[in-house]
Amino acid sequence: MPSSRVVRKPLCVPARSRRAPEEHLVIRFPRLYGILVRWVTRLSPQSRIRQVMIWRAMEQGFAATNRRDFEAVLPRYDPDVELVPARELVGVGIAASYRGHEGFLRMWEDWDSAWAGHAQWEPKELIDLGDRLLMLGRMKGTGEASGIAVDAQSAVLMTLKNGKVIREQQYAEPVEALEAVGLGLSAP
In a domain, 50, yes or no: yes
Q: At 70, is the pLDDT very low, low, confident or very high (cuts 50, 70, 90)?
A: very high
Rounded Cα distance, 167 and 99, in Å? 9
In a domain, 161, yes or no: yes
Residue 146 has a CB neighbour count (10 Å cut-off) of 10
Domain CATH code at residue 72: 3.10.450.50
Write the DSSP string, 32-69.
HHHHHHHHHHHS-TT-HHHHHHHHHHHHHHHHHHHTT-
Rounded Cα distance, 142 and 144, in Å? 6
In a domain, 188, yes or no: no
In a domain, 89, yes or no: yes
In a domain, 187, yes or no: no
Q: Which domain holds residue 36?
A: 13-180
Q: Which residues does 184 contact at the CB level (< 8 Å), separation at least 6? A: 175, 178
In a domain, 94, yes or no: yes
* Coil vs helix vs strand at 106: helix
Mean pLDDT of the chain: 89
pTM score of the predicted model: 0.90
Q: Could you tell me if 184 and 134 are in contact, meaning their C-beta atoms sit under 8 angstroms apart? A: no
pLDDT in tens, 78-132: 999 999 999 988 877 889 999 999 999 999 999 888 876 678 889 999 999 999 9
The number of domains in the chain is 1
In a domain, 29, yes or no: yes
In a domain, 186, yes or no: no
